[in-house]
Amino acid sequence: MKIGILMGDDIGYEVVPEAVKVLSAAAKIAKCEVEWSNFPIGKEGHNLHGNTTPEVTVDGLKAMDGWIMGPIGHQAYPRNDPTWIMPPIRKIFDLFASIKPVRSYNNINSVHKKVDIVFVREVTEGMQSWDTTITSDSGEYRPNSEISIGSRVITRKGSNRVAREAFKIAQKRDRRKVTAAHKEAVYRLTCGMFAEECRKVALEFPDVEFEEIHIDTIAAHLVMKPQDFDVVVTTNQFGDILTDLGAGLVGGLGLAPGLCVGDTQAMSQATHGSAPDIAGQNIANPFAMIMSGKMLLEWFGRENSDPNFQKASELIDSAVEMVINDAKHTTIDIGGSSSTQIMGNAIYEMLEKNL
């Protein structure tokens, strides 16, 4: 497997190396062949090549099976300078589904226990369709100084493929249930098309239970009884909000991993941002980045029917769980007092011990 490493900005320099350390160890133990390559992105890309998304990086990633990308500190980038505007990498590579699992751990303080949900969010269209021919790069436009208009693009293709991804994931889980979250009663054409495609795909997966729920209803339901959900599929903007809500349910952003998948490539990217407020202090939780990397190995194993990659991902899962349950080497955000590196090392050592 060819894996790219992109540090991102700020805490990316602290959490990405921990992920690479843990992934390399698991891959070695499970006898997976992995070739690693580094690519500059964000501020590093700008320093080296005058652009936050250098051509050399985009070209290099084309040859990768997948990559681990740290968070991008775009909020601090200079405005109105095209060399600092960063189109989402997922858009360039058509990585259309963002998969975000949230899971509660007994030892970690959380609003709820026994939560085990996978959110599947469409990430190439919706309100962030980036059609710059008619709108600004945020998908919005301002016809005069008093009015601003946001647009939303929903396609059959986009809805169908993200629904299919959700059903494929549900089929491999114990509960085998997909919930499609939308607001068809109001947005009859956009949410309507998304719902129609979900229903069509559901017919192809008779072994997976399917239900639909309005986006406002699921917001309340998730806060009150998240245990009712297994796999939740939704459109871009709704998913952006629900996935942060999901992270909040189980203990915070440091615990929320993610993987963006396309037809042939995938990208590990944690839900959290670059957290400039804690960057350089060695206190960021590496869990989300490590588990995002684990998802990449699992995805590759599934796509290529390679049990060694599946094994590597299971090894990481159990090492992480042991370190969390043991609670001696966890970071401050989840109630511990260890540094980023100490938590990463503890997971690495647990892997070696399991061997």
Where does this chain bind ligand ATP (CB under 6 A)?
Answer: 11, 75, 253-254, 272-275, 277-278, 284-285, 288, 333
Nearest approach, Cβ of residue 286 and ligand ATP (Å): 7
- Using CB atoms within 10 A of its CB, is residue 78 exposed (0-12), middle (13-18) or buried (19+)? exposed
Closest-CA residue to 41 (of 118, 103, 93): 93
Closer residue to ligand ATP (CB): 32 or 284: 284
d(CA 67, CA 4): 4
d(CA 126, CA 116): 26
Closer residue to ligand ATP (CB): 89 or 284: 284
Nearest approach, Cβ of residue 105 and ligand ATP (Å): 15
Closer residue to ligand ATP (CB): 232 or 343: 343
Nearest approach, Cβ of residue 196 and ligand ATP (Å): 32
Nearest-CB residue for ligand ATP: 273
Nearest approach, Cβ of residue 333 and ligand ATP (Å): 4
Nearest approach, Cβ of residue 331 and ligand ATP (Å): 6
Q: Which residues does 170 contact at the CB level (< 8 Å), separation at least 6?
A: 118, 176, 177, 178, 205, 208, 230, 231
Nearest approach, Cβ of residue 256 and ligand ATP (Å): 9
d(CA 336, CA 64): 36
d(CA 21, CA 34): 13
Closer residue to ligand ATP (CB): 48 or 76: 76
Closer residue to ligand ATP (CB): 34 or 327: 327
Closer residue to ligand ATP (CB): 51 or 274: 274
Nearest approach, Cβ of residue 341 and ligand ATP (Å): 13
Closer residue to ligand ATP (CB): 72 or 154: 72
Closer residue to ligand ATP (CB): 77 or 130: 77
- Quote the distance between the C-alpha of residue 43 and its chain's center: 21
Closer residue to ligand ATP (CB): 198 or 256: 256
Q: Which amino acid would we find at residue 130?
A: W
Instruction: Retrieve residue 134's tokens.
Output: 């008619």
Instruction: Retrieve residue 149's tokens.
Output: 């208009």
Nearest approach, Cβ of residue 291 and ligand ATP (Å): 11
Is the Cβ–Cβ distance between 154 and 235 less than 8 Å?
yes
Nearest approach, Cβ of residue 235 and ligand ATP (Å): 19
